[in-house]
Amino acid sequence: MNDFLPITKEDMIKRGWDSVDFTFVIGDAYVDHPSFGPAIVSRVLESAGYKVGIIAQPDWKNPESINVFGEPRLGFLISAGNMDSMVNHYSVSKKRRAKDFFTPGGVMGKRPDHATVVYGNLIRQTYKNKPIVIGGIEASLRRMAHYDYWDDCLKRSVLLDSQADILSFGMGEHSIVEIADALNQNIPVEEITFIKGTVYKTKSLDNIYDYIALPSYQDLKADKLNYARSFYIQYTNTDPFSGKVLVEPYGNNLYVVQNPMAKPLTQEEMDKVYALPYMRTYHPCYEKDGGIDAIKEVKFSLISNRGCFGGCSFCALTFHQGRIIQTRSHQSIIDEAKMIIKDPEFKGYIHDVGGPTANFRHTSCKKQLTKGVCPNKQCLFPKPCKNLTVDHTDYLELLRKLRSLDGVKKVFIRSGIRFDYIMADPDDTFFKEMCQYHISGQLKVAPEHIADAVLQKLGKPENSVYKSFCKKYAEINKKLGKPQYLVPYLMSSHPGSTLKEAIALAEYLRDLGYMPEQVQDFYPTPSTISTCMYYTGVDPRTMEKVYVAHNPHEKAMQRALIQYKDPKNYDLVHEALVTAHRTDLIGFDKKCLIRPRNTHDVNARKKSAKPLTEAEKKYGISFEKYDMIQNSNKGDKKDGKPKNKKRR
């Protein structure tokens, strides 16, 4: 039956079902598209022969809201949605967002904060012993004790706080079917402890072998350095080939146990997942409320890969998808493209072909598929590994096939492009064709910063690599006769960044003649190296101290410096420059970031090493008055003579 999965009891009955095997409670509206995690999990279970009913955005204040299908035969599944519910709800300044793109009409408030925990406890009110399996990005990154930025505290594993039985982490296709099969074979849920890619709780370690004991939750709370050490052990055990079982004690003979990550999908398995009978849009019941905006970003895009060996410190992909690249075949992607072309709303433009990093189409080296990734080394940072395979041939061939399809006018690349990987490729063919065919006037890349001290903490290449990339990009576009630009993504307040580095970034932008429209202030989300630095004040890789801007006002100053030209930021930029003893950047010289507002600024400049400009010596007044005088001098003259002498 090629249709949406049931969302009401009537839908269930139409399918001839008396009950469902699993009730899937999700924090998003129901969108049946392979860019949405709940859609993949539900369709994978369906393909394995299980009946799944969807309860999207239930009223979490009403226990009856999870009884749409009655009691499921095997258990409940929970996902907070495609985004972490807290990131979905709050900006980095902890202000409530105005819109939820995963809810009909963008209405906020249709899901609770910490949705996984709330939904789990909601189900437990009615079903005391029914198995509950949690998963998705929110649960995956909270599978062990973790720092919660919004409550500014260390929290227990979400498995405990949600009262769930099993947590499926990572992408979940392997583990969810194995869990379903175990439950279907009447194995008690407390005995399902053997599945890779899962976390469970236990009262005994008697049957667990070859594990690493992490510090207890009590020890983690007592000393942040214990948390840094524990986190790095977890970070180096995310590989499915070499990763160990991890045990986190909670006292009173309670333990949370993490099994090694599930094996990556083979290309054949990936192809099967994306060939499942998705409806490729949101459920029609949402049409009356304005639809789901999140579909617009992905409806005409193609996912070609998973995983990322880039290893950025602020990214949680290492914990969630892993560092081993998994790809779909060309034919699988082309078949999906042909489906997209038939859509009446398709205008000829494929918006994206990529994944976490678009130009990764194979593992970083040959050994990864048998021995896994190096636990204590990165593939690209601080320099590309000598064993790194740099080759864009497969991706380039895929793009050529897609842009040759009838009905396709243009194929864009809008996923992240790893520019240091491009620079490591001795063959410029991909670089040239990307500029010629796959950019619409501008290319977005993510250098994140220009200060090497900050880049080191970010896990990004040194600034010289980005400079070389910019130069080559300009050269290629000049030869092509294309006036195309780079749009750099920049991050403020990342651990390691003081006002000194923030000012250096502002000076770089001044010299570049560019002010970004958007700036990402560092957002401490669970299970990243950067968040560990933010919470503990040390780099868990070295245990060395790291400067961290915790004060919201300082963070605001660092952010404002990147957009120093914006009049709304004047006071923050001024304060930052005075605080950092950089009043030489307040003045009328072309190297200055802002102009003085009053004589106090000019007096401050007199004390600095940099000499006053002629304007400051002459006027010693606000730049508004200075501009008025200058404009008056220009506008009141005609043929070199004053036009209105009396007014002067």
φ/ψ bin of 136: left (φ > 0), alpha (ψ from -120 to 50), beta (otherwise): left
Q: What is the pLDDT of residue 637?
A: 42
Task: Give dist(CA 138, CA 81) in Å, integer.
Answer: 8
Task: Give dist(CA 336, CA 273) in Å, integer.
Answer: 12
Task: Give dist(CA 308, CA 169) in Å, integer.
Answer: 16
Paired tokens of 75: 């258990």
Amino acid at 523: Y
- Three-class HEC string of 581-602: CCHHHECCCCCCCECCCCHHHH
Give whole-number Cα distances, 282 to 23, 79, 295, 518, in Å: 19, 17, 7, 29
Paired tokens of 629: 């005088």
Q: What is the pLDDT of residue 643?
A: 41
Q: What is the pLDDT of residue 636?
A: 43
Give whole-number Cα distances, 230 to 147, 159, 213, in Å: 12, 18, 9
Task: Give dist(CA 563, CA 45) in Å, integer.
Answer: 48
Handedness of CA 523, 525, 527, 532 (dihedral sign): positive
* Chunked mean pLDDT (size 10), the chain, 648 residues: 92 96 98 97 98 98 96 98 97 95 96 98 97 98 98 98 98 97 98 97 94 98 98 95 96 96 96 97 96 95 95 93 95 98 96 94 88 89 93 97 97 93 97 96 93 96 96 97 93 97 96 86 97 98 97 96 95 96 94 82 56 49 46 44 37
Paired tokens of 307: 């995983």
Task: Give dist(CA 60, CA 63) in Å, integer.
Answer: 7
Cis peptide before 382 (omega within 30 of 0): yes
CA 311 to centroid of chain Cα atoms: 13
* Nearest alpha carbon to residue 178 among 201, 163, 202, 196: 196
**How many C-beta neighbours within 10 Å does residue 464 have?**
9
Amino acid at 132: I
Task: Give dist(CA 356, CA 522) in Å, integer.
Answer: 19
Element (H, E) at 52: strand 52-56
Contact residues for 437 (Cβ-Cβ < 8 A; gap 6+) = 399, 403, 410, 411
φ/ψ bin of 311: left (φ > 0), alpha (ψ from -120 to 50), beta (otherwise): left
Amino acid at 484: Q
Q: What is the pLDDT of residue 132?
A: 98
DSSP conformational letter for 214: P
Cis peptide before 131 (omega within 30 of 0): no
Paired tokens of 147: 């720092």
CA angle 112, 115, 118 (to 5 degrees): 85
Task: Give dist(CA 411, CA 399) in Å, integer.
Answer: 7
Task: Give dist(CA 271, CA 328) in Å, integer.
Answer: 6
Task: Give dist(CA 191, CA 111) in Å, integer.
Answer: 32
Per-residue b/e over 245-274, b at no fewer than 16 CB within 10 Å?
bbbbbbeeeebbbbbbbbbbbeeeebbbbb
* Nearest alpha carbon to residue 56 among 77, 36, 28: 28
Q: Domains in the chain, start-ordered, CATH in brackets?
A: 9-195 (3.40.50.2300), 441-580 (3.30.750.200)
**How many C-beta neighbours within 10 Å does residue 244 have?**
15
For residue 309, the cross-strand partners are none
Helix, strand, coil: what percent of the chain each, to 5? Answer: 40, 15, 45
* Cβ proximity of 445 and 405 under 8 Å: no
**How many C-beta neighbours within 10 Å does residue 467 have?**
12
**What DSSP string describes 567-578?**
GGGHHHHHHHHH
* Nearest alpha carbon to residue 492 among 503, 477, 481, 479: 503
Q: What is the pLDDT of residue 514?
A: 86
Task: Give dist(CA 166, CA 186) in Å, integer.
Answer: 15
Q: What is the pLDDT of residue 600?
A: 55
